Amino acid sequence: MSPSPSLSAGRLSAGDAPPRLSDAWVALAGLSAVFLFEMLDGSVLNVALPTIGRDLGSSTTGLQWVSGAYSVAFGGLMLLFGAVADRIGRRRVMLVGLVLLAAAGLATAAVTTTEQLIAVRVLMGVAAAMTTPGSMALAFRLFDDEGLRVRALTVISTAGLVGLAVGPTVGGFVLAVAPWQVLLLADVPIALLALVGIRLGVARDEPADLRRDPVDVVGGLLGTAAVAGALVIPTVLVGAHRASAWGWLGVVIVVACGVGFVVRQRTAAHPLIDLPLLARPLVSSGLLVKAASGLAVAGLSYLVTLQLQFAWGWPPVLAAVGTLPQVVVLLAGGRLVGPFVQRVGLGRAAWISAAAVVAGLAVFGALGRHGYAWVLVALVLVAAGMRVVGVVAGTSVLTGLPADRTSVGAALVDTASELAGAVAVVAAGTVVAASVTGGITTATWTAPRLAAFQDALGGSGLGLAAVAAVLVVAGIVRGRSSPPATPPSDPTTVATPTIALTALTALAEETSHA
């Protein structure tokens, strides 16, 4: 008997369960494109920041927000759109988000000012918040067999990892032959590939699988306002002549929104976040470690870009070559990840990998100004640590949650990383803006000004490393307070780390062949 037309075309109808991974190739291609965009977008943009700043005449603060606006919108709205997707359909929300992403990418061609580019980056962050929460859930839904589910998640994760690894290098070489707009216009074909793959390869959500309780829109808006305000206000307060009554009024509003969000989540009939779940030791431990890693990775990426291209005057191509060791570690280290985690255990793997990421940022802060060799050490340490920490931190969170809350847990892990990354960029940019007079993209580099710039970069690196270290220590302490695991009376009530460990090993194997 020949396979059904739907399977042979890679299209799955509701209720289909393909016997092979290749039978869902259309859907997997679309979902992989979503993760490729998420990881490639930020990494490819960082190497282009100096070129963008010079072309648009950006101020130090403006350049900071070209990078940070995306993370603020992404991290601030992810939980809200995840809740919306659970109610009206993950596939539907993802398709709308991909259309928005393609439109925002096309809008890049018309950008002529820093403010316009920041607006485009906000739209891209909104699109990412709409597409990311449901992507893993859609991949999981494609198959009934656990082994196929693990392999599907592995394929999709590998696409994102490759994008994260090669983004800076590809971006640097593209800038040698094309304008920077090309880097963001590349999001358009990626979005179209994802749109076609998901539209043709993923069945519509079954009504029975959707939640019926209302979305906590008020809580979502309060949380988003608190997050965005907390990231914007420091920039406003340190700006020349702007630390006025309006700035301090903004502080009051942000605090009020934060308090209002907590109160809303404690009293709402259907809260966006079930706060008692966050208090569980494994959950809070995993989120703290993931936040530390996200802060260190984003902070180092931003600071290295400023160091190589502004302080040392490297062209984008040479800066791209300078990031190649990180690519090598990320891709070539795949075979070592699974055995390492299985040998030392999830708990030790989490803090060892997080400590490596923090150490890399500290090395850059203390010694990065003294030569590329120290930058190289920092890049290798961070790459080695981030190769592991994401999965083990995520596993900790999912293990500590009931099985019916694991989608929320996955969104929380991504949110912790994105928001921590946004904090890192905003903090570093704010320190540089406060320490260096004039715009770093336009002013002449005198010796005193360069020394102040180097001091700002080093101080930012050490400060972020200290914050990340505190998060790691808090995560370790919190994780050790977890009671010993006991078999649950109902095996469906607690998520198991077995799937994550299997996926980690499979990811290592898949990446080694990428």
pLDDT tens digits for 298-310?
A: 889 889 988 998 8
**Parent domain of 71:** 19-206
Is residue 292 a part of any domain in this protein?
yes
CATH number where 326 lies: 1.20.1250.20
Please give the tally of structural domains in the chain: 3
Tell me whether residue 195 is in a domain: yes
Q: How confident is the model at residue 502 (pLDDT cuts 50, 70, 90)?
A: very low
332 belongs to a structural domain: yes
Encoding tokens for residue 210? 């959707």
Q: Are residues 325 and 265 in the same domain?
A: no
Of all residues in the chain, the percent with pLDDT exceeding 70 is 79
Q: Whole-angstrom Cα distance, residue 413 to residue 420?
A: 11
CA angle 378/383/385 to nearest 5° reads 100
Q: 256 and 282: one domain?
A: no
For helices 90-107 and 60-88, the axis angle rounded to 10 degrees is 150
First to last CA, the chain: 34
- Tell which of 256, 271, 286 closes a domain: 271
Let me know whether 267 and 288 are in one domain: no
**Under a CB-based contact definition with an 8 Å cutoff, are residues 131 and 34 in contact?**
yes
C-alpha 142/C-alpha 201 separation (Å) is: 9
Within this chain, do residues 258 and 278 fall inside the same structural domain, yes or no?
no
Residue 3 is assigned to a structural domain of this protein? no
311 in the same domain as 251: no
33 burial via Cβ count (<10 Å: 0-12, 13-18, 19+): buried
> What is the spatial distance between Cα 269 and Cα 461, in angstroms, rounded to a whole number?
43
Predicted pLDDT of residue 150: 65
Tokens found for residue 172: 């640097």
Q: How does residue 439 score in pLDDT terms, banded at 50, 70 and 90?
A: low
Q: Is residue 12 part of a domain?
A: no
Both 164 and 233 in one domain: the answer is: no
Whether 253 and 382 map to the same domain: the answer is no
CA distances from 37 to 92, 124, 162, 346 (A): 18, 10, 11, 29
Q: Is 377's pLDDT higher than 90?
A: yes
Same domain? For 253 and 374 the reply is no
Looking at the structure, do residues 81 and 166 belong to the same domain, yes or no?
yes
Contact present, 102 and 195 (Cβ < 8 Å): yes
Any domain includes 391: yes
Same domain, 105 and 89: yes
Residue-wise pLDDT for 104-142, tens only, equals 989 988 888 999 999 999 999 899 888 876 676 677 677
Confidence bin at 487 (pLDDT 50/70/90): very low
